[in-house]
Structure 1
């Protein structure tokens, strides 16, 4: 019995900061899924940037909120729950910066990716930058690029 318990004692406890960052990202999806605009945008710093899937979507927080407001107003925003996530907290003296990358699933777009940076503030972890992107299989990249350019399919 002791031999079975000993390996469990050697397992590292989850990093509390990583757990807190993951909770912010989960809260982000919960707020958008329930169209809670105040909760959603309250998870960002005032200086935050949002980079969306379209090349034109490189927004300040105010610009992103203006874009998103009609979606929240109709009571249906979007849902991108994480299926996998890696969080890294910078190993600097303050442990006040973290970055992440995550696989997301969306009803319309399938698998997408999210990545970004959070900063520890007086109000807890807040998102400084969020980047949402589509995944493109390498063997289909030329066709996607051609479609974006408006070229005939290669």
Structure 2
């Protein structure tokens, strides 16, 4: 009986570990598909797919200090206007990291994206599982600035903010 119990316990641990690993792999694949789909939708100016990637109250943080776009109002309006003429923007993810919560219903990500026109960016965010589907709750985009260029970039940025204040 003792051998049977040990064998049952071993089998249970093996099977449950396999299920968890499969679940994480499935979640990771789904999240990668969501994020890649977001970038594809943006490059194709596909409004429904792009906005459909976000939760109903999702937030997109742009690179300027005033760019905090929320659904359903400001983000939907900006993207609708931008995609209206059939033009979006193209960013290709070249590196991505994901961390799943213990319950596998929330994940945090960071990625490096590249725009042929604008260079390298970092996207960070939170995705949540809603009704069995992953959605973006928060996405923040920032410029990547190499340390050796930081001083010059900082000077330009400080001057631009100062000039903006003078205008207001």
Which 4+ runs in 1 deviate beyond 3 A? none
Aligned length: 138
Taking the aligned partners of 1:65 and 1:106, their CA distance within structure 2 comes to: 22
- 1:74 equivalenced with 2:85 (yes/no): yes
Shift of 1:145: 1.5
Q: RMSD between aligned alpha carbons?
A: 1.6
Give the structure with higher Rg (CA): 2
1:2-151 correspondence runs (5 A):
15-61=25-71, 62-91=73-102, 94-122=103-131, 124-150=133-159
Aligned-partner Cα distance in 2 for 1:65–1:145? 32
The structure in which a higher percent of residues are helix is 2
**Deviation, structure 1 residue 30:** 1.1
Partner secondary structure for residue 124 of structure 2:
strand
CA distance in 2, matches of 1:110, 1:65: 25
TM-score, normalised relative to structure 1: 0.84
* Secondary structure of 1:75's aligned partner: coil
1:105 deviates by 0.9
Give the alignment's TM-score, normalised by structure 2.
0.77
1:14-52: CA deviation from partner (whole Å, max 9, x where unpaired): 711111100000110111111110110011001111100
